[in-house]
Chains A and B, each alone.
Chain A
Amino acid sequence: MSNVSKVPRRSLFDRLFEPPRIGAMAPGAKIIVYTLLLAWSAFVLFPIYWLLITSVKTAADVNAGPFFIPFVDFTPSLHAWRELFIVDYADTLRAYVNSLIISLAATALAVLVGSMAAYALARIRYQPNLITILIFILTMTAALFAVFSYGVDWRIVLVVGVGIFYFFSKAVASRVKVPLANGDILFWMISQRILAPIVVVVPIYMMFQSVRMLDTHLAIILTYAVVNLPIVIWLMYDFFNSIPKDLEESAQLDGATMIMTFREVVLPLSRAGLAATTLLVMILCWNEYLLALFLSTAKAQTMPILVAAMNAGERGILWWSMSVVIIVMIIPVVFMAIVLQRYISKGVLLGAVKG
């Protein structure tokens, strides 16, 4: 089978870069591939190794210059771990629990609402009227302008606004119709991801402030869920589209309602897609910093805030404690990844991206 045996005289270079058989790799290419991959592994893993050893260093070990190998260069000490988990365990635990509650709830909410919308967009034809939407946006802009710039009471504005919207949508929108299609809705929803958090965070902040919900779990959960909704809708839309419709159709012929079909037939079929989406959204929520910084003050502080808090300004950065917090933050994500891994088939993300 070997190519090489057929051609007796070849230079060393040729032999190095000639595959021994079809479907295998040439020895030279193999060396190059392994070298590159191992080099990249080193680049990826070294910072993580450095995190691990920094977490067992003392201030003196860190400040006196680089030490690389525990027990050889320096004596590891668990002081940072002890400080975070025994001395100040209450603060650490609070942030950890907050982070868990917030990211689990936000992920659940985003995946539920998002996959429902994605399923609906994949299976039902909607035809919203562009005129109605324009009227809605104009009314809202006017209403907000009245509230912000002229200080009109928001309750009055709400009532008047709803009235105006109702009147115009009846009077105008029922006569002039510019129908949009599912693709437009989908694009609209997915395009929300373009918004940098900084664009919307100030009004969101003011909104939660006016209903006294700042620094609560619910505020952060809702915000995270919405921020990640576009991802869920996008990934799940493609996934639902790839599921053959026969099963659902036969379920419906058997008389199952749409909700039942969704729950009993579609969701189990899309376990892999759900798992991949959940993992992705979970990672994004768990690691988010900027929005949490805006929306939490005391009670609802999450882990990324705790990481930032290890920068103690005048006393420098508490590298050792910070390393502990970062390491501790990686653990649940890895755990999630392992739990969900068997559901994640190779092509889940791929399908959506090909869209």
Chain B
Amino acid sequence: MTSTQGRVENRQPGYVPADNSQPPSRRFRFNEWLDGHARQLFITPAVVMILIFSIFPLVASLIIAFSRVRLKAGGYQVRFVGFKNFSKQIFGSEQFHFLGTFTTLTFLGWVVALSASAAILWWMYRYITTGFSIIGFIGRMITAIVGLGIAWMFAGTFFSGNPFGTLGVTLFYVFVGCGVQFIIGLGLAFLCSQPIRGRNFFRVAFFIPMMITPIGVGYVFRMMADTTKGPFSPAWQWFGLNDFAWAANPWTARIFIIIGDSWQWIPFIFIILLAAFENIPRDYVEAGQMDGASNWQIFREISWPQVMPVAVTVMLIRVIEGFKIVDLPNIMTSGGPGIATESMSLHSFFAWRSLDLGQSAAIAYLLLFVTVVICVSFFNLIVVNRMRRI
């Protein structure tokens, strides 16, 4: 690593602080040494920790993903198997589990697949004809390929009446779940920022779910959703739903998991957006009221532009965390019915539990790939774009 003049070089060397009345001693020399290396000292611990506990495992995990790993007495036995662990997920015996079950595309499937493809190709075409840079092109190519893959995956499974796999489930949790959480969180923050009494109470009460361990939240919502002895079972029966079990239907099971996840995570979005709303100078809003603007107009024209940059970043964080969802489906349904609620993290976790470390790592890597592509696309194509427009 190379170094340049930093601001720290401006200090006057050799100056002894007034309170340090000791003569130059070993301690002093040590302090001087520390000071001389402050540039490195400040950042090295973080770099070293990340190298050891993030980069090193990341590379090791990649190697495991290309291997067959077996536990043997006294350690591990690792055999290189190439892309087998990956191809199994995408084309082989685990395809149904990761991508979903494919039969022939129905008419609706074709419509969705072709229109999504057309939209993505049009978007690429427009990019190439308007502005062009190598890095931008490569980045958009990756986004387009992943987008096409996901579109065809949903077209072949969901839109053709087949169940989809853990990839689809994860995307469902992330986009539907985070979407719902954002809308509710935003709404609550807006309401709470109004001049009303008891704001502190609401602020504290709404924050509580974030303090509960996710695994606890899973169990709490299993209690809530119990149709025989849970608190809502009388209501459930009153509605004549005796013969309907949420856990036996893939969609209701997924929705229940999203409800639990939202209960826990809306507070996070709420608390930050509330701060953003409160940060808007009251004069702006009052000026709007003076001009006779309706509440909706005030929100749209005055509050939203102020809150938008924060909202986008909060969503980015939430989406990143959303991809990691594992505790709730694990506790509430164990991934059932069938594999309908299994997220990719859970898929990988189950593979680990059956000691299939290679597959576990391969799925984890696929998750990482999808997360990175989607988050980076979101950041570059939406956040940066929006920021520029404002």
Is chain B in direct contact with chain A in the complex (CB below 8 A)? yes
Identify the A interface with B (CB < 8 A).
17, 19, 22-25, 29-30, 33-34, 36-37, 40-41, 43-48, 50-51, 54, 62-66, 68, 113-114, 116-117, 119-121, 123-129, 132, 137, 140-141, 144-145, 148-149, 151, 177, 179, 185, 189, 192-204, 206-207, 222-223, 225-227, 229, 233, 252, 255-260, 262, 283, 286-290, 303-304, 307-308, 311, 317, 319, 322, 325-326, 329-330, 333-334, 337, 346-347, 349-350, 353-355
Distance of A242 Cα from B297 Cα, bound (Å): 32
B residues near A258, Cβ cutoff 8 Å: 8, 11, 35, 38-39, 42
Contact A355 B313 (CB under 8 A): yes
For the complex, is B166 an interface residue (Cβ under 8 Å from A)?
Answer: no
A residues in contact with B194, CB < 8 Å:
25, 29, 33
Residue of B nearest to A223 (CB): B53
Contact in complex: A117, B61 (CB < 8 Å):
no
In the assembled complex, which residues on chain A have CB atoms less than 8 Å from the CB atom of B253? none
Q: B367 contacts A196, CB within 8 Å?
A: yes
Q: Pick 6 A–B contacts, CB within 8 A, sort by A.
A: A41-B201, A66-B229, A145-B63, A149-B78, A322-B216, A350-B310
Contacts of B326 in A (CB 8 A): 196, 198, 290
Looking at B3, B38, B282, which has the most chain A CB atoms within 10 Å of its CB?
Answer: B38
A255, B56: Cβ atoms under 8 Å?
no
B313 touches A353 (CB 8 A): yes
Residues B212 and A287 in contact, CB atoms below 8 Å apart: yes
Q: Is B138 in contact with chain A by the CB < 8 A criterion?
A: no
Task: Report if A329-B216 is in contact (Cβ < 8 Å); known contacts: A132-B1, A255-B15.
Answer: yes
Residues of the A chain whose Cβ atoms lie less than 8 Å from the Cβ of B192? 37
Stretch at the interface among B97-105, B141-149, B154-162, B368-376: B368-376
* Chain A residue at smallest Cβ distance from B228: A65
Contact of B46 among A30, A36, A48, A189 (CB under 8 A): A189
- Contact between A259 and B286, CB atoms less than 8 A apart: no
Q: Select one of B42, B55, B213, B278 contacting A137, CB under 8 A.
A: B55
B349/A198 in contact, CB under 8 A: yes
**Cα–Cα, bound, A40→B276 (Å):** 20
B42, B53, B210, B222: the one within 8 Å of A120 (CB) = B42
Question: Which residues on the B side are within 8 Å of A63 (C-beta)?
Answer: 229
CA of A273 to CA of B49, assembled, Å: 22
Q: Contact check, A226 vs B53: say whether CB atoms are below 8 A apart.
A: yes
A189 to B17, CA, bound (A): 35
A129 to chain B minimum Cβ distance, whole angstroms, is 6
A257 to B76 Cα, complex, angstroms: 50
A19 to B288 alpha-carbon distance, docked (Å): 12
Check B31 for interface membership: any CB of A closer than 8 A.
yes
Contacting residues of chain B (233-287) with chain A, CB-CB under 8 angstroms: 233-234, 263, 271-272, 275-276, 278-279, 282, 285-286
Query: Which residue from B11, B15, B46, B375 sits with its C-beta under 8 Å from A194?
Result: B375
Q: Which residues of B (200-215) have their CB < 8 Å from a CB of A?
A: 201-202, 205-215
Do B286 and A257 touch across chains, with their CB atoms under 8 A apart? no
Are the C-beta atoms of A40 and B188 separated by less than 8 Å? yes
Q: Which of A149, A196, A329 contacts B364 (CB 8 A)?
A: A196
Is the beta-carbon distance between A207 and B229 smaller than 8 angstroms?
Answer: no
Output the least CB separation between A41 and chain B (Å). 5
Q: A33-B191, A37-B188, A225-B49 are in contact. Are A317 and B219 (CB under 8 A)?
A: yes
- Given A200-B61, A257-B31, do A286 and B213 touch, yes or no (CB 8 Å)? yes
Most buried by B among A148, A202, A207: A202
Given contacts A124-B6, A194-B375, 20 further A-B contacts (CB under 8 A): A36-B187, A63-B229, A65-B228, A65-B233, A117-B45, A123-B8, A124-B7, A124-B42, A126-B43, A197-B324, A202-B360, A203-B58, A204-B57, A226-B54, A252-B11, A255-B11, A257-B11, A329-B213, A347-B275, A354-B310
